[in-house]
């Protein structure tokens, strides 16, 4: 019997890519536990529906009674379910604290109460570290950088991150934490910058660029992230955190200009908009620990090639994008899984 991995948030952007990666590259059985919020989209996994090692469980991490049975069968957990959009957290933080902190605590409690709980990987974010100045470039987040989150989203992820650490320290649970930079790739909800801008550009619309566009992010391909999570699952040291990054720092303006170029549009497509409240200036990851200790390095993230392939995916998958934007993907859930979301 293959081991069973419980993946939470498997209907989201990273989760759906991770589920597909595990089914293609590994031999475990996967239970995809997802509450199907607006960000959960099972059309992203339509190609693995019916796969003999895949099952879907419609459950909310804040309602443990909905997943007790799955916890009992799982050998390990990859916990990705979260409210993930910074702008939404600025508008209303409550769902973020509920799912990302309380939900994580409930999931951890369910895990620690089972017999011989195995590895539990908490998928955190580089945003727990706060931000960095634009210069010097050599300054990067390491795993010992103090956690000083700036947005309600980042605070809620820090709460989950610290709980995962504390459950190792207090209860001896076999937790690991991953702190990753910005992901790009297929199946990302079109409220996030890359799919939003590509969709607008394809349709000849302008793209809303925050402030002067000088904010810097480190971009990693989602399948590199999936591989790194699995490396931590297999070989991470209990109680440890691992940074994951792409060595691929770009300003938002540089990213926007590349997308404009790849979509054959003009600089006039840029529409400057008022900056995000408390907008973090720069994130940069020192990922030498995961490289030195677990032998992981990104292999799919180099630009312009990887960005070009991502833009091409959004050009080639107009139906997927249109179904998300029209809400059609919810009908897919009802038809295929009998869920009313």
Among 35, 152, 185, 246, binds ligand NAD (CB under 6 A): 35
Query: What's the CA gap between 111 and 174, in Å, rounded?
Result: 10
99 contributes a contact to ligand NAD by CB under 6 A: yes
Mark the segment that binds ligand NAD (CB under 6 A) among 35-43, 129-137, 260-268, 279-287: 35-43
217 close to 181: Cβ distance less than 8 angstroms: yes
Burial letters for 281-309: b for 16+ Cβ neighbours within 10 Å, e otherwise? Answer: ebbbbbbebbeeebebebebbebeebbee
Mark the segment that binds ligand NAD (CB under 6 A) among 161-169, 179-187, 257-265, 312-320: 179-187
159 contributes a contact to ligand NAD by CB under 6 A: no
Among 40, 130, 246, 298, binds ligand NAD (CB under 6 A): 40
Question: Which residue in the list 126, 218, 224, 227 is annotated as catalytic?
Answer: 126
Query: What's the CA gap between 204 and 200, in Å, rounded?
Result: 6
Query: What's the CA gap between 193 and 207, in Å, rounded?
Result: 9
Mark the segment that binds ligand NAD (CB under 6 A) among 48-56, 178-186, 201-209, 293-301: 178-186
Q: 242 an active-site residue? A: no
Tokens representing 49 are: 């529906």
Q: 153 an active-site residue? A: yes
19 contributes a contact to ligand NAD by CB under 6 A: no
Closest-CA residue to 217 (of 289, 276, 299): 276
Query: What's the CA gap between 315 and 169, in Å, rounded?
Result: 47
Query: What's the CA gap between 2 and 208, in Å, rounded?
Result: 47
185 contributes a contact to ligand NAD by CB under 6 A: no
Mark the segment that binds ligand NAD (CB under 6 A) among 33-41, 86-94, 257-265, 307-315: 33-41
Among 28, 34, 161, 249, binds ligand NAD (CB under 6 A): 34
Query: What's the CA gap between 9 and 79, in Å, rounded?
Result: 7
Whichever of 82 and 269 has its CB closer to ligand NAD, that residue is 82
Among 9, 149, 152, 245, binds ligand NAD (CB under 6 A): 9
80 contributes a contact to ligand NAD by CB under 6 A: yes
186 contributes a contact to ligand NAD by CB under 6 A: no
157 contributes a contact to ligand NAD by CB under 6 A: yes
Tokens 């081991």 sit on residue: 3
Cα dihedral sign for 108, 333, 233, 290? negative
Tokens 């990273």 sit on residue: 14
Q: 212 an active-site residue? A: no
183 contributes a contact to ligand NAD by CB under 6 A: yes
Tokens 């590895």 sit on residue: 119
219 close to 253: Cβ distance less than 8 angstroms: no
Q: Give, for 255, the enclosing helix (H) or strand (E).
A: helix 252-262
233 contributes a contact to ligand NAD by CB under 6 A: no
Residues in the chain, overall count? 341
Question: Which residue in the list 34, 60, 83, 127 is annotated as catalytic?
Answer: 127
39 contributes a contact to ligand NAD by CB under 6 A: yes
Shortest Cβ 9–ligand NAD spacing (Å):
3
Whether cis (ω within 30° of 0) applies to the bond prior to 304 is: yes
241 contributes a contact to ligand NAD by CB under 6 A: no
The contact set with ligand NAD (CB under 6 A) reads 8-9, 11-15, 34-37, 39-40, 60-62, 80-84, 99, 103, 123, 125, 157, 180, 182-183, 189
Catalytic residue positions, numbered: 126-127, 153
């Amino acid at each position: 019997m293959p081991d069973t991995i419980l993946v939470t948030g498997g209907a989201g952007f990273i989760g759906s890519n991770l589920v597909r990666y595990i089914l293609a590259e590994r031999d475990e059985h996967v239970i995809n536990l997802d509450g199907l919020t607006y960000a959960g989209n099972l059309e992203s996994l339509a190609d693995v529906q019916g796969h003999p090692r895949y099952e879907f469980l419609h459950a909310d991490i804040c309602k443990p009674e909905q997943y007790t049975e799955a916890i009992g069968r799982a050998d390990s957990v990859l916990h990705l379910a979260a409210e993930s959009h910074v702008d939404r957290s600025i508008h209303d933080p409550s769902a973020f604290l509920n799912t990302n902190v309380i939900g994580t605590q409930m999931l951890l409690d369910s895990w620690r109460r089972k017999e011989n709980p195995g590895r539990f990987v908490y998928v955190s974010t580089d945003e727990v570290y706060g931000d960095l100045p634009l210069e010097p470039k050599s300054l990067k987040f390491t795993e010992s950088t103090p956690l000083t989150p700036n947005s309600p989203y980042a605070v809620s992820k820090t709460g989950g991150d610290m709980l995962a650490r504390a459950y190792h320290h207090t209860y001896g649970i076999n937790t690991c934490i991953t702190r990753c930079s910005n992901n790009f790739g297929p199946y990302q909800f079109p409220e996030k910058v890359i799919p939003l801008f590509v969709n607008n550009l394809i349709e000849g619309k302008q793209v809303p660029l925050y402030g002067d566009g000088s904010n810097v992010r480190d971009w990693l391909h989602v399948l590199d992230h999936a591989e790194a999570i699995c490396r931590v699952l297999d070989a991470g040291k209990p109680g440890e955190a691992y940074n994951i990054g792409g060595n691929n720092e770009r300003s938002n303006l540089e990213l926007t200009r590349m997308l404009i170029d790849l979509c054959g549009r003009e600089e006039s497509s840029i529409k400057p908009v008022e900056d995000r409240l408390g907008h973090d200036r720069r994130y940069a990851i020192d990922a030498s620990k995961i490289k030195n200790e677990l032998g992981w390095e990104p292999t799919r993230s180099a630009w312009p090639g990887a960005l070009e392939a991502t833009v091409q995916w959004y050009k080639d998958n107009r139906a997927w994008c249109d179904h998300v934007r029209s809400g059609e993907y919810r009908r897919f859930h009802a038809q295929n899984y009998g869920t009313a979301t």
